[in-house]
A and B are shown apart, each in its own frame.
Chain A
Amino acid sequence: MSRIVRTLLLFLISLIFLFPMLWVLLSALKPQSELFTFPLTFLPAHPTLDNFATAFKSGDFFLYFGNSVFVTVVATLLTVVINVMAGYALSKYYFKGRDFIFYAMIGTLMIPLQAIMVPIFLLLKSMGLLNSLWGIIIPPAASPTGVFLARQYIQTIPNSFIEAARMDGGGEFLIFRRVIVPLATPIIATIAIFSFMWRWNDFLWPFIVITERKNMTLQLALANFVGQFQVNWASLLAMTVVTMIPMVIVFLALQRYFVTGLTAGGVKA
C-alpha cells in the first residue's frame, strides 16, 4: 500500500519536472501563428514539423552541429585524461605543495568567468587561439570539479593494489594505465557526463572565443534566435528540442556508471 502511495507521489513529482519540457516540445510542434493566439491551447491544433525544417535550413545547422560535436567530444576526452591524471597525482603521491595545489584549484572554482573575461580574451588573442575551436577546447579543460571528483574517488582505491604492481616492477605510467584507470571507470564516466553536458551547453566560452561563422557552435546559433525585441520562438523551440537529444543519449548510455562513480567519491570527501 505504502509502496503504491510512494510511486504515485514520485510520479506526481515527475510531472513538475516533465511539464515545462513537454510544453516546450508541444509548442515546437505548433505553427508560428498558433504560438500567441488566445485562448492558449495545450495541444497543437495543427501539429507540424515545419519549425524543425526551418531551423535546419536557416544558417548552417549541420556546420554548427558538427562544431559542437567536435568541441564536446575532444574537450571531454582531454578533460577526462588530464583531470584523472591530476587526481591520481594528488591522491596517491606525496610531494611538497600537494595540498596547496589542490586547494588552489578548488579555490578557483569560486572565480566567476565574467570577472576575468577580459584578461582571458587578451591572453587567447596573444596565443592565437581566438577564432579557433581549440580556443574553446583547451582553456576550460583543467576543471577543478573534475580534479576534485577524480581525487576523491582514487583515494578509495587501496594502496596495496599499487604496491603490488610496483613489486611486479611496473613503471608508474603503466600502473596508472593498468591498475588505476580500470578501477576508476565509474568516476571517468561521471566526469565524462559532466564534461559532456557542460561543453554541449556552454555559451560563454564560445561567445568569447569565436568570431567567425564557420566556427560557431549550436548554443551561439541558438542565442541568435533571441533578437533585441523579438524572439523567434518557432525556430528556437525546435532547435532546443534537437540540441537536447544527444545529451539524453549520452546520459542514458553512461547512467549505469554514473551513480557508482559518485558513490565512493562522495562519501570519502
Chain B
Amino acid sequence: MSAATVTSRIPHRIRLNLRAVVGRAYPRIVGANREPSWIFFEAILPLLGIAAYVFIYQALANRVLLDPTVSAADKAATVAATNALIGSVVLGGTMIAFWLNVLWSMASQLYWEKEIGNLQLYMMAPMSRMALLGGMAVGGMFMTSVRAITTLVAGVVVFSIVLQVTNPFLLIAVFFATLVALYGMGMTLASLYLLWGREAWHLSALLEEPIFFTSGFYFPAGGLAYVGGWGRVLLTAATAIPATLGLDAMRQLVFPGAWGDKLWIFSPEVELVIILVLGVVFLVLARYALAYLELLARREGRLTSRHQ
C-alpha cells in the first residue's frame, strides 16, 4: 500500500466513524424528546428519593438549631454543614441519573440490540465497533445530562442550596472526565453483558443500590473511612467506580471547606488524575472486550443472532 493510499484512507475512516457516532447517538437524543413524560418520571420523581435524605439531614440540624444552649457560632457551622450535606445529596441525585443510564441503557444496550435484531446489522457495517459504543455513550450522556441538570436545578431551588464554585474550570474538567470514565465503564460492561445474556439483567439490579451506597450518592463517601474495619476496604473498592471520585471532587469544588475538609477522599486534582486514568483503562478494556466478543460471535455464531 502506497503512502498516498494510507493518507487518503485515514480521513475516510475518521469521517465514517464520526458519522457512525452521530448516527447511533441520534435515536437516543431525538427519541427521548418524543416522549416528554420523561421530565416528570426521570427529572422530577428522583427528587422524591433525594427528599427523604434531605429531610433527615434537616431534622438532625434542627435538633442543634433549636437547642438554646448551642452557641451562635456552632449554629452557623451547623447551617453550613447541613447546606453542604443537602447539596451533596442533590449532586449525588444528579449522578444517579448517569449511573442508572450507564447500567440500564449503556451496559445492557448491546444485549437489547441483539434481541431487536440490530446487532448483526451493526456488526456487518464497516464502522469501528468503538464508534458504535461511542455513539451509544454520546447519546446517553447528552440525554442524561439534560435530565441531570433538570434534577440539579430543581433540587437547588426546592431545597435552597447555596453553591460556592471555587474553580469552575476544574469543576467542568472533573465532570466531563467522570462522564467519560463512567461511560467507558458502561462500554466495557456492554460487551460482558452480551456474553452473559439475560443473567446480566440481574447484575444490573445487583449493582444499583450497593453502588449508590459505596459511591456515596447520598453522603460524602469519605465518611466510610471513619467506619471501623470494613469501611476503608469498601471505600478503596468504591474508588474503582468513577462516580465515587467524581462526586467527591465536585463536592469539594462547590462546598469548599465543608466539614472541616475531613470527609474528602483525595484532593480534586488527584481525583481528576485518577478519573482520567480510569477513563483510559475502561476505554481500552471496552475496545478489547468488544473485539473479543466479535471474534466469539463470528466463531460461535451465537452472539449476534436473536434468541441464541
Q: Do A and B bind each other?
A: no
Interface residues of A (CB under 8 A from B): none
